[in-house]
Amino acid sequence: MTQVKCDVLLIFGKNDPWCTPAFAKRMYQSLQQRNQNNIHRYIELDNVGHCPNHEAPQAVGFIASRWTSSGAKTRDKEHLSLLNGDDIDAITFHEPWGDVIAREINENEINLSLMEKIITSLV
């Protein structure tokens, strides 16, 4: 991840049994070691598992559309809102099978168990 030379958007399902938020945190940390001009964001989707694009297509489509339409020049680290505004920290999407809540998460908001710290340090 430290070699990636473009902006990165991470979208993870909170209930993913394989790529848990612990792996998202590891990716986030690796991305922070890159060039400071690149931007990375982590969006976590509640009530979603391993395949967010299949399980929550409306949420993923909305977030990806906001990301791509923002353009690299306007992706200011502090001011880009992928959700609905600077004062909104979550948005609910009504998928056909149930509600999905999207939140933008910062690295320090991802809490890891001791086992997750050990496992992600090996990857």
Report residue 121's pLDDT band, with 50, 70 and 90 as the boundaries. confident
52-69 pLDDT per residue, tens: 999 999 999 999 988 888
- For strands 40-46 and 8-13, give the pairing: parallel
Q: Any idea where the domains of the chain sit in the sequence?
A: 8-122
Q: How far is residue 111 CA from its own chain's centroid?
A: 15
Instruction: Provide the percentage of residues in the chain whose pLDDT is more than 90.
Output: 27
Distance CA 40, CA 75 (A): 9
81-92 pLDDT per residue, tens: 666 555 557 888
88-113 pLDDT per residue, tens: 578 889 998 899 999 888 777 777 77
Distance CA 92, CA 45 (A): 9
Q: How many residues does the chain have?
A: 123
pLDDT value, residue 71: 65
* pTM of the entire predicted model: 0.78
Q: What is the DSSP track for the chain?
A: -TT--S-EEEEEETT-SSS-HHHHHHHHHHHHTS-TTS-EEEEEEET--S-HHHH-HHHHHHHHHHHHHHTGGG--TTT--SSS-TT--EEEEEETTEEEEEEE--GGG----HHHHHHHHH-
